[in-house]
């Protein structure tokens, strides 16, 4: 039975404008779902984009992290730096192969384009073992040239090739499947596909292509790619009959897709997923007309002393939220927690057991990981959350001053997601952390650890 690789492209959605925190949460959900590849855009802002990839690398262990290598040596170098700590690293080289695309995007004729493909694939291969060549607009390429481009990519070190039906205007599903099958037959490499869903036929195109020999499909939640949930369900329902399978955890599929959709929708509406905080504070009432200095003054009054870079991030996020609704102190605090002082996780939550009842003392047994070593802590507290915080402090060996702790529900239903906001004080400064989970105790621990990691990172 053939295993079909599923690469998720949700985080490539330029329209969504996901925050740093939202990107981390989406990647965490995709890792939990066991998608084979999580695709990320090219490194534009070398500091924040590299930090994002490194942060994802700290918890994404099963999925391949794939970063677009761009079209220059510098962009490939940046992609490699960002992937330096990834458990499974891949660089994608995305280049147009249609006559119009080559001329308009790269300003190159076919012969020069082949040399360009060879150059970029070779540069990427020097950095990582796993290199993917993405033939953009492949369905409008001239047949002979497309095969030459693929052969050059393979000979230069590409380990995978993907055919993009970028326009979705030239082929119906059966024609696309035959097109992909022809490439599979003439290429000694794994072939994948990306199908644009603007005509509602992406799932049909991808399914028929898989039946004809394609071994990888690019999917997404909430974009024009093949819908992740529909494609995974197709494999679940039809895979045995047609002889293929996937690594997706089907029992979690619906829940995780709903959570990612929720983040997508709230982002499109101008709301951050960790900003669903009811404004009960009448002392602060701001809108998008407030300038950066006024917003930073309000942040300072809340107790946060931010760097210039974090101040810029907070103000940018403030404008995005304030464009849709007025911002109170609790919302501003959540903005600070979600976008400022984002750092790699020194301590990672591995597992926990919490006991609670009306006739026993609450206790927590928690396992954290630091530098690859797992450390366990056990504590008793005044309630399950207090016990959990004490167990974490026992592991770290430091007591932290809890300045504030807030809990809220951010989705509805029995499997609702809960969001926790924790503020810790250390050396006279406030550090805040957010945590999201369907388990409110889990959300609280993640928020506490997020704040702790900021303290540890700054004191290192």
Summarize the confidence of residues 210-228 as an average pLDDT.
Answer: 95
346-393 pLDDT, tens digit each:
898 899 999 988 788 889 999 999 988 999 999 998 889 999 999 999
Selected residue with higher pLDDT from 414 and 375? 375
Selected residue with higher pLDDT from 14 and 78? 78
For residue 393, the model assigns a pLDDT of: 93
∠ CA 345-350-355, nearest 5°, is: 125
Selected residue with higher pLDDT from 391 and 403? 391
275-305 pLDDT, tens digit each:
333 333 345 778 888 888 888 888 877 766 6
Instruction: Give the domains, in start order, of the chain with CATH numbers.
Output: 2-268 (3.20.20.70), 270-340 (no CATH), 348-459 (3.30.160.270)
Q: pLDDT > 90: what percent of the chain? A: 54
Please tell me the distance from the alpha carbon of residue 27 to that of residue 260, in angstroms, as a whole number.
10
Does 63 score more than 90 pLDDT?
yes
Does 86 score more than 70 pLDDT?
yes
Does 269 score more than 70 pLDDT?
no
Does 14 score more than 80 pLDDT?
no
Please tell me the distance from the alpha carbon of residue 177 to that of residue 197, in angstroms, as a whole number.
15
**For residue 342, what pLDDT band results from cuts at 50, 70 and 90?**
low
Q: Is 108 helix (H, G, I), strand (E, B) or coil?
A: coil
For residue 240, the model assigns a pLDDT of: 92
For residue 338, the model assigns a pLDDT of: 64
For residue 450, the model assigns a pLDDT of: 87
152-165 pLDDT, tens digit each:
999 999 999 999 99
Q: Is 373 helix (H, G, I), strand (E, B) or coil?
A: strand
**For residue 230, what pLDDT band results from cuts at 50, 70 and 90?**
very high
Q: How many CA atoms lie within 13 A of 248 on its CB side?
A: 29
Q: Global pTM?
A: 0.62
């Amino acid at each position: 039975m053939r295993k079909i690789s599923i690469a998720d492209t949700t985080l490539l959605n330029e329209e969504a404008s996901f925050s740093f925190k939202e990107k981390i949460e989406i990647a965490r959900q995709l890792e939990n779902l066991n998608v084979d590849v999580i695709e990320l855009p090219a490194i534009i802002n070398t500091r924040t984009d590299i930090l994002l990839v490194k942060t994802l690398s700290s918890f994404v262990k099963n999925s391949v992290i794939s970063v677009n290598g761009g079209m220059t040596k510098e962009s490939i170098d940046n992609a490699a730096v960002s992937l330096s700590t990834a458990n499974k690293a891949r660089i994608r080289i995305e280049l147009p192969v249609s006559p119009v695309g080559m001329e308009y995007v790269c300003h190159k004729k076919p012969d020069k384009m082949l040399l360009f493909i060879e150059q970029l694939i070779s540069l990427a291969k020097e950095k990582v073992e796993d290199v993917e060549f993405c033939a953009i607009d492949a369905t409008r390429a001239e047949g002979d040239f497309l095969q030459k481009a693929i052969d050059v990519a393979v000979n230069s070190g590409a380990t995978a090739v993907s055919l993009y039906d970028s326009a979705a205007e030239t082929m119906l599903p059966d024609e696309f499947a035959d097109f992909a099958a022809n490439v599979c037959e003439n290429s000694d490499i794994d072939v994948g596909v990306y199908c644009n869903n603007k005509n509602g036929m992406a799932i049909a195109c991808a399914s028929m292509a898989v039946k004809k020999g394609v071994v990888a499909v690019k999917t997404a939640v909430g974009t024009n790619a093949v819908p992740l949930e529909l494609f995974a369900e197709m494999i679940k329902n039809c895979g045995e009959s047609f002889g293929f399978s996937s690594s997706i955890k089907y029992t979690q599929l619906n829940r995780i897709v709903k959570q990612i959709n929720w983040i997508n929708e709230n982002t499109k509406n101008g709301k951050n997923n960790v900003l669903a905080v009811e404004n009960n504070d009448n002392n602060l009432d701001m809108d998008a007309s407030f300038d950066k200095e006024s917003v930073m003054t309000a942040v300072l009054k809340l107790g946060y002393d931010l760097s210039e870079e974090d101040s810029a991030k907070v103000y940018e996020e403030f404008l995005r939220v304030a464009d849709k609704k007025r911002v109170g102190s609790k919302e501003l605090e959540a903005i600070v927690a979600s976008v400022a002082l984002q750092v790699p996780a020194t301590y990672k939550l591995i597992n926990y057991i919490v006991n609670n009842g009306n006739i026993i003392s609450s206790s927590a047994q928690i396992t954290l990981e630091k530098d690859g070593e797992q450390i366990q802590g056990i504590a008793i507290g005044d309630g399950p959350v207090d016990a959990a915080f004490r167990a974490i402090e026992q592991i770290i060996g430091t007591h932290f001053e809890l300045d504030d702790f807030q809990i809220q529900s951010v989705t509805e239903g029995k499997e609702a997601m809960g969001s926790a906001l924790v503020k810790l004080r250390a050396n006279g400064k406030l550090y805040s952390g957010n945590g999201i989970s369907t388990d409110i105790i889990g959300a609280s621990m993640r928020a506490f650890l997020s704040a702790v990691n900021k303290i540890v990172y700054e004191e290192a």
